[in-house]
Amino acid sequence: MIARLMERDPDEHHRVATPLELFVDLASVIAIASAAAGLHHAIAEGHYAEGLLVFLITFFAIWLAWLNYTWFASAFDDGSLSFKLATFVFLSGSLVMAAGVTEFTHIHLIRVMVIGYVIMRLAMVYLWFAAARGSERYRKTCLRYGGSILAVQVYWVILGLVLWQWTVPMLGLFAIGAILELIIPFWSERAGMTPWHRHHIMERYGLLTIIVLGETLLSTSFALRETFDAGEVDLALILLAISAAIITFAMWWLYFTRDDSLQGREVWRVFTWGYGHIPVFGGAAAVGAGVAATIDMQTHHAHAPIAAGYWAMAIAVAVYLAGLTVAREIFNLTGMNRFILLAAALLALCTPLTPWPVESLALVLVAAAALRTVCASADPKALVSGH
């Protein structure tokens, strides 16, 4: 029996993330950490293209499931028992998917990940149908979501459990499935935009950003631990740890600006902002993997040259900055101010060519954060804020 879920007021005062949503974030970041760990080891062993491809596939699946749950909860989380139980099923799927990352990374079998992903998505199918029963106003939209997600899961089961092989044509079929998943919200919301809460959504995205950035801080602590465990001062590791910490702090500063990152509810704006966070989250997670790989190279626990670690960090930071440019800067700022972070991304890509790659990368980010802060303070569009 499908329960009934009622819509929330999109203008509700003092709407904040619930403990259950934070629980979902925790489970999601476990899966993200597994994906980042796979990328870390691939970089350290010199399997760059293969490691990147596995990371992109894994991260996309985790992010997409989290995204759909987050926007749904913002619109229809009524705190009922049925919503909580369905969320626990969603959480279980996330853990199964995290468990399958290692198998996918090492032997390229995707079956466990697909099982976990399908569990998560079937939980969402139930929730969308429950919202359709409880909300007359948004019934058509919810039915579109539920029916479309269910149909695409049939595609994933056939692809991942029956046909899967690590081949180029199969990766093409995966890309088709990914595109279908991304199209679902466009098609569904055409029947009527769901009543998500703007400040609640911004908070949810910000919380996941903090958690993902925490992965880089964890890698930084490993660098310090390596130094202390060695019983002697390793200046190179200490400088790496300090620079990685500064990079993380600057990335946090650049994300949590005074101006609201989502300054409207227009469809094109919302989808650009929502999907534009793919490189933001992915880049943040990859920075942690790059730091961890560089530590391995610095301590002679890797087969790849240390330059690979420098390039991994620089590219990940550039992706993060480019993502922020697309998701926020081009809408919130005017003139050349919109391209400050994009220019910083280009400079970040040059840092591996300098004598001090990680330190130079940290300097670029600090300079970008300072310049963006000064320029935004005088920008009329950036002053449109809900704070």
Q: For every residue of 186-218, which 3-state class applies, written as one string?
A: HHHHCCCCCCCCHHHHHHHHHHHHHHHHHHHHH
As a whole number, the mean pLDDT across the chain is 91
**Who wins on pLDDT, 318 or 263?**
318
Residues 159, 141 contacting (CB under 8 angstroms):
no
Residues 196, 75 contacting (CB under 8 angstroms):
yes
Residue 13 belongs to a domain: no
Residues 4, 134 contacting (CB under 8 angstroms):
yes
Q: In the listed set 141, 167, 189, which residue is the last one of a domain according to the structure?
A: 189
- Tokens standing for 335? 């003139």
Residue 11 belongs to a domain: no
User: How many domains in the chain?
Assistant: 2
How far CA 266 is from CA of 91, 198, 331, in Å, comes to: 31, 11, 12
- Residue 311, pLDDT above cutoff 90: yes
- The answer on 118 and 237 residing in a single domain is no
Q: What is the pLDDT of residues 356-367, one digit of tens each?
A: 999 999 999 999
Q: What is the pLDDT of residues 211-251, one digit of tens each?
A: 899 888 887 787 677 666 656 667 888 899 899 999 999 99
- The answer on 126 and 220 residing in a single domain is no
Closest CA to 209 of 153, 277, 263: 277
- The answer on 317 and 207 residing in a single domain is yes
Residues 243, 224: Cα–Cα separation, whole Å: 12
- The answer on 273 and 176 residing in a single domain is no
Least-confidence region, from 17-21, 104-108, 304-308: 104-108
Q: What is the pLDDT of residues 114-160, one digit of tens each?
A: 999 999 999 999 999 999 999 999 999 999 999 999 999 999 999 99
Question: Could you tell me the pLDDT band of residue 384, with boundaries at 50, 70 and 90?
Answer: low
Percent of the chain residues past pLDDT 90, beyond the cut: 75
- The answer on 225 and 371 residing in a single domain is yes
**pLDDT at position 232:** 65
- The answer on 208 and 339 residing in a single domain is yes
**pLDDT at position 387:** 43
Residues 258, 377: Cα–Cα separation, whole Å: 9
Closest CA to 241 of 253, 228, 251: 228
Domain that residue 256 falls in: 198-377
Q: Largest alpha-carbon pair distance within the chain?
A: 68
- Tokens standing for 309? 């670690």
- Residue 202, pLDDT above cutoff 70: yes
Number of alpha carbons in the 13 Å side-chain half-sphere of residue 254:
35
Residues 261, 273 contacting (CB under 8 angstroms):
yes
**Who wins on pLDDT, 148 or 332?**
148
pLDDT mean over 303-311: 94
- Residue 188, pLDDT above cutoff 90: yes
Q: What is the pLDDT of residues 244-295, one digit of tens each?
A: 999 999 999 999 998 888 877 888 889 999 999 999 999 999 999 999 999 8
- The answer on 364 and 250 residing in a single domain is yes
